[in-house]
Amino acid sequence: MTDNNTGGDVRLTGISKAYGSFTAVHPLDLTVPQGSFFALLGASGCGKTTTLRMIAGLEDPSTGTIFLGDKDVTDLPPYKRPVNTVFQSYALFPHMDISENIAFGLRRRGIKSVKKQVDDMLELVQLGDKAHHKPHQLSGGQQQRVAVARALINHPQVLLLDEPLGALDLKLRRQMQLELKRIQTEVGITFVHVTHDQEEAMTMADQVAVMNGGRVEQLGAPADLYENPQTTFVANFLGTSNLIEAEVLETGSSGGDVLVTAGGGKLRVPGARCTSAVRQGGKVLVGVRPEKISLAHADDAGSIADGRNRVTGRIADSSFIGVSTQYVVNSPAGAELQVYEQNIERDTRLVPGAEVVLHWNPAHTFGLDAAQDIDAGVETVEDAG
């Protein structure tokens, strides 16, 4: 570990990886600040694991350099890098007991008295009573904690986690997310976490890099990514977005609202929240998150405050899920718009078939470049979960 607070960043410059004619990772620049919990988020095959393995040294980059702090580690073999990995399958050594697994890294570096450190580490992951068990005698969650302990005991500059919670069931996964976050706060080591689970990335990470097709689509804090997606992929992959194809009527003054039309209605988009330059008569994708939208029955349309964006439609489907009710609304502006309503005062008229008005604060609207796939990043049935 370095004492210098800025000297421990992980910096990737122009890093890429090609296998024959297939490019797994396009040249990318990425800086992971020291001490942060950084997530690489993307669907399978997006290059996130390859990127992680290049940082670990298990994969040689085709181009580019990797810096740990001021040190160029690009050509160092994995056993000479101050970086440790928690593998997806945990990769615990089956022929060693838990304490020997944890002591492995220390012993390889010639440290003789490992007992104290191993005990401390077992304490940290709350497995003190399992020291002399073999890995196969532990549950998935316990094995996962051993894998973390085995890596952390070496005080790496960076801890790499490759889908470490992928093999656990949902409840355990939630528990381990908090556990990992607690450990990270406690030890203060930089964590780089690879995951395909957007909720996991948002719960745990300070910074998230969303990857798609071997490229970083967008990088930022979870809330920033969620509120201000720059591409349709990010808008759809992180949570759910309603994207409506619209035509620009008035570009408005600088910083002012842009007026667009979709399905006969007019909508306002803050000019500052449009990712691409808008011009009159041009196309734009208007986006709004389902929970930002309020739903009113068509009979109450008159009571909706002025200045809100409105879309009329008909409820196609509704599902009650306790804290909220999720509606699917078909409208001339777009099919299958999603609306999440808090269950505070339930309007019994809002049932499938009812004519409704969707309305929301224009400030919650964002505009995306229309020249991209509107369904990019939408989770399909095959790769769900």
- Which spans of this chain sit near another protein (rule: CB under 8 A)? 56-58, 77-80, 83-85, 87, 89, 91-95, 97, 104-105, 108-109, 132-134, 137, 150-151, 154
Among residues 57 and 69, whose Cβ is nearest to another protein?
Answer: 57
Nearer to another protein, 71 or 134 (CB): 134
Given the complex with another protein, which of 94 and 281 has the nearer CB atom?
A: 94
Nearest approach, Cβ of 53 to another protein (angstroms)?
A: 9
| Minimum CB distance to another protein, residue 129 (Å) | 12
Cβ distance to another protein smaller for residue 109 or 112? 109
Q: How far is the CB of 97 from another protein (least distance, A)?
A: 8
State in angstroms the smallest separation of the CB of 106 from another protein.
9
Q: Rounded distance, CA 10 to CA 368, Å?
A: 31
CB of 352 to another protein, least distance (A): 50
Q: Which of 331, 215, 227 is nearest to 289 (CA)?
A: 227
Nearer to another protein, 79 or 253 (CB): 79
- Least distance between another protein and beta carbon 21 (Å): 17
Closest to another protein by CB, 129 or 345: 129
